[in-house]
Amino acid sequence: MFLDELNDAQKAPVLHKDGPLMVIAGAGSGKTRVLTYRIAHLMNQGVDAFNILSLTFTNKAAREMKKRIADIVGSGEAKNLWMGTFHSVFARLLRYDGDKLGYPSNFTIYDTQDSQRLIASIIKEMGLDKDVYKYKQIQQRISSYKNSLITVKAYFQNPELMEADAMAKRPRLGEIYRHYVDRCFKAGAMDFDDLLLRTNELLNRFPEVLHKYQERFRYILVDEYQDTNHSQYLIVRALADRFQNICVVGDDAQSIYSFRGANITNILNFQRDYDDVAVYRLEQNYRSTKNIVGAANSVIARNKNQLEKVVWTSNEEGPRIKLHRSPTDAEEGRFVASSIFEEKMRHQMPNGHFAVLYRTNSQSRAIEDALRKRDIPYRIYGGLSFYQRKEIKDVLAYLRLIVNPGDEEALKRVVNFPTRGIGQTTMDKLTVAANASGRTIFEHIENLESEPLGLNRGTRGKLSDFATMIRSFQVLNQSADAFTLAEHVAKKSGLLLEFKKDGTPEGIARMENIEELLNGIKDFVEGQKEVADAKGDLSEFLEDVALATDMDKDTGDEDRVALMTIHLAKGLEFPYVYIVGMEEDLFPSAMSMNTRSELEEERRLFYVALTRAEKQAYLTYTQNRYRWGKLIDAEPSRFIEEIEESYIENLTPVDNYRYRPLIDSDIFGDVDKSRLRQKKPVAGTPPSRTGPKPEQLRRLRKLKPDIASPKGSDTVIADLQEGTRVDHSRFGAGTVLKVEGAGNDKKAEIRFERGDVKKLLLRFAKLRVL
Ligand code: ATP
Ligand code: MG
């Protein structure tokens, strides 16, 4: 009997008869299981699947839930459940009844980019200054109005809103909003926010529709209730109003979406909104070891703003949480990859039992590189693989064009990005000419004076400027290394400026990704220095990237390490979890440390991250992180110290400061700390990749003499001979084939396990004998 798979505390909400109920409980205590089993139980009691609506945080969660229910009640019946995210469920509802609002049933859903393009064109048509009316900011503003149910009409009835936009020097925002809504409507399109806004409108304006769905959805269940926004909250309230068979489960300690308008008070007000609410609490965690539960409890206890909760587990104690420090982010990636490799071997675990969680998407690059080198398959969730992201492809397209101006796809991608006034008609003419002549488009561009192809002088000038720019990059490419060149290109092409000036979080994220790409190239160039016959030039790098994307191709093999942001990991669980980048300004994020509530949200995020782990959690941080191709001193995250000490095993003890290597502010005071916040490199001695600065060294020597070698104990250059097994910081494990030369020129030829043979100068190579 499936009910036997529940403890008594869980059984109570599952068996709860009609009427509103709420389950408030900590991570891993079985909230999602309660929801799932409650649905199965309702169906076993004769409730028709058609009468049950269940809202989950991801569609994947819905699929898994459905599968479990199908196991219990049979798959035929389970098919009839309405289950999914708010957006997917209400898009479906609007397909049936959106016609009442004038939408066709096959309405289009605009994604964010579609919305932004439309807004940009409206701004242009209205003749507004696009530097004042930035389309991405306007799109976000409109989105937040929609999520607060401020329609165009409501906007124009609210003098305060209009005044606020006028103060922000955007008095015509309301007009843009109006045009945008009209144009979407005319196009038969809804954006993401419309899916909730229009559902609300439909239920409000058409009582018969509301009645129909109230009758239909007699039982409503919501998972992750703590992260519903106002618009979602109102839909649930309207639908549940008649029968009040509403079951919500959530954990206020895991509310992590307030930046998207999620409102924690929804959970706090539940008892006020409905009569006779039954509140259930679960305390036993089934997911994690004692060490993980204890550590997570000790962290979240620091939040002032929370409901009282107890979480305990009868699971085994398990190993302590492992803390690891790396010199740089590249080495952090390498540590994670080799640790996953070791754990896999030792415990015979599939890749799918491992997850790497990070605060921001741009951190995935170093992890991806390291996993690839180790041939460990991975999958990135909720984002494109790093090299497939638009802004990265843009930079790479410029680089490809430098190496081969005949590369037509690269040319088309960037000839008018950033905008240079080279329109589609022009490109069409050039393409036609190129197809007819057998010459490349680039060759035609360079030959326009003798063969103008009917293009006017202005257009010819723009094209010629573009060609000249590419040629100038080619000249630099003769002398500069790939990093210097790529940095130059990112600036001179206008790409960086383009993303910088839009100033939205999305633009910043794109800039950060370009920064990450540059870091990767820098790393690559450094690595190539050790390779005897390599130049570290652009074509080598592009080849490396091309191979990387080749290897990334989906082989159909589903057993992969999961890489994702912590936000996406909500509700999931993995036996092994690596939380990387545990550094101040990164996690907690520099943008979220200004108020207590922001910091508490970051702490909840950390609580979510930790509580994903079943058997083992790893926390990693770096001493130095590459930003803009320069090393920045990093400070360990305050969250590390917030974990009660007894739950932690420090893999890299340094000194008698707990988990904390010396940082500049220890020596220079807070001034330097504030510079760190601005993410500028610290002035003074150029940072070395391998260890602390001289001032730090002196202090460290006093504390513990044996760790003071700036070279580190990793560098082994003697004793190499044919057959010696070695490990290289970038290329992984390998076997020495041959040693030649002497002194500074001593080289070793090594076959690496990932497939290639490299000749390394031992003077530079970071090799370790295995
Ligand atoms: P989160 O807050 O992270 O969303 P949750 O409260 O929803 O967590 P679940 O995911 O439902 O917790 O459960 C955590 C794990 O514990 C799951 O693997 C689940 O199958 C298991 N579990 C829950 N209750 C029991 C039980 N009574 N017996 C055995 N395993 C259980
Ligand atoms: Mg859950």
Catalytic-residue membership of 714: no
Q: pLDDT tens digit string along 719-738?
A: 788 888 888 877 778 888 88
Confidence of residue 642 (pLDDT cuts 50, 70, 90): very high
The answer to whether 437 and 444 are in contact (CB under 8 A) is yes
The answer to whether residue 470 scores a pLDDT higher than 50 is yes
581-616: pLDDT as tens digits: 999 989 998 888 888 889 999 999 999 999 999 999
- Please tell me whether 556 is known to bind a ligand: no
Count Cβ atoms below 10 Å from residue 206 Cβ, excluding itself: 14
Residue 742: is it exposed, middle or buried by C-beta count within 10 angstroms (0-12/13-18/19+)? Answer: exposed
Q: Is 140 among the catalytic positions?
A: no
Q: Which pLDDT value is given to residue 350? A: 95
Residues with CB under 5 A from ligand 2 (ion): 31-32, 571
User: Is residue 429 exposed (0-12), middle (13-18) or buried (19+ Cβ within 10 Å)?
Assistant: middle
Distance 348 CA to ligand 1 centre (A): 24
Per-residue confidence (pLDDT) for residue 531, from 0 to 100? 65
What is the overall mean pLDDT for the chain? 84
**The two structure tokens encoding residue 455:** 């293009």
Higher pLDDT, 625 or 545: 625
Is there a binding annotation on residue 482? no
223 is annotated as an active-site residue: yes
Residue 115, pLDDT score = 82
Distance (Å, rounded) from C-alpha 298 to C-alpha 291?
Answer: 11
- Supply 263's token pair: 């409102």
**pLDDT of residue 651 exceeding 70:** yes
**DSSP code string of 691-705:** S--HHHHHHHHHH-G
Residue percentage of the chain with pLDDT more than 70: 86
Q: Which of 483, 406, 404 is nearest to 439 (CA)?
A: 406
CA of 3 to the centre of ligand 2 (A): 18
Q: How far does residue 33's CA lie from ligand 2's centre (Å)?
A: 7
- Given the residues 193, 223, 331, 391, the one annotated as active site: 223
**pLDDT reported for residue 532:** 59
Ligand nearest to the CA of 29: 1
**Per-residue model confidence (pLDDT) at position 660:** 40
Residue from 33, 57, 285, 610 whose mutation best tests the ligand 1 pocket (most atoms within 8 A of CB): 33
Report how far residue 665's alpha carbon sits from residue 657's, in angstroms, rounded to the nearest whole number. 14
29 is in an annotated binding site: yes
Which atom, in ligand 1's list, is nearest to the CA of 6? 27
Taking the centre of ligand 2 as the mean of its atom positions, its distance from the CA of residue 315, in whole angstroms, is 18
Task: Tell me: pLDDT of 50 over 80.
Answer: yes
- Between CA 245 and CA 21 the distance in angstroms is 8
Q: Which of 221, 286, 566, 568 to mutate to test the pocket of ligand 1 (most atoms within 8 A of CB)?
A: 286
pLDDT at residue 357 is higher than 70: yes
User: pLDDT-based confidence at 676, cuts 50/70/90?
Assistant: very low
Tell how strand 747-752 and strand 757-761 pair up. antiparallel
In this prediction, residue 715 carries a pLDDT of 38
User: What per-residue confidence (pLDDT) applies to 699?
Assistant: 38
Dump the DSSP string for 78-95.
HTT-EEE-HHHHHHHHHH
Contact 200, 118 (CB under 8 A): no
The reported pLDDT for the residue numbered 714 is 36
The average pLDDT across 95-103 equals 92
**30 marked as part of a ligand binding site:** yes
Least confident of 88-92, 726-730, 749-753: 726-730
Would you call 612 a catalytic residue per the annotation? yes
More confident residue, 767 or 659: 767
Q: Is 527 annotated as a binding residue?
A: no
Could you tell me the pLDDT band of residue 435, with boundaries at 50, 70 and 90? confident
Q: Is 23 helix (H, G, I), strand (E, B) or coil?
A: strand
Joined tokens for residue 365: 């690059």
Average pLDDT for residues 522-548, to the nearest whole number?
A: 73
Q: State the catalytic residue, choosing from 199, 232, 254, 724.
A: 254
pLDDT reported for residue 533: 63
186 annotated among ligand-binding-site residues = no
DSSP state at residue 656:
S
List phi, psi (to 5°) of 191: -90, 180
Supply the pLDDT for residue 446. Answer: 96
Ligand 1, residues at Cβ distance < 6 Å: 5-7, 10, 25, 27-33, 251, 254, 286-287, 571, 573, 611
State the average pLDDT over residues 492-508.
86
DSSP E strand stretches across 623-707: 624-627, 630-633, 648-650
List pLDDT tens digits, range 449-464: 999 999 999 999 999 9
Q: Using CA positions, which residue lies closest to atom 11 of ligand 1?
A: 30
pLDDT(686) > 60? no
Short-list 254, 306, 302, 309, CA closest to 642: 302
Determine whether 695 is an active site residue.
Answer: no
Instruction: Quickly state the pLDDT bin for 564 (edges 50, 70, 90).
Output: very high
658 is catalytic: no
Q: Does the interface predicted TM-score (ipTM) exceed 0.95?
A: yes
CA of 41 to the centre of ligand 2 (A): 18
DSSP for residue 253: G
% of the chain residues with pLDDT over 90 = 53
Q: Range with the lowest mean pLDDT among 286-290, 487-491, 689-693?
A: 689-693
Per-residue model confidence (pLDDT) at position 680: 33
The three-state DSSP-derived secondary structure of 547-569 is HHHHHHCCCCCCCCEEEEEHHHH
Which pLDDT score, from 0 to 100, does residue 550 have? 31
E strands, 88-153, are 108-110
Ligand 2 center to 221 CA (angstroms) = 13
Cα 691 to chain centroid distance, Å, stands at 29
Per-residue pLDDT reduced to its tens digit, 167-209: 888 999 999 999 999 878 877 778 889 999 999 999 999 999 9
Residue whose CA is closest, atom 15 of ligand 1?
A: 287
- Nearest CA owner, ligand 1 atom 9: 30
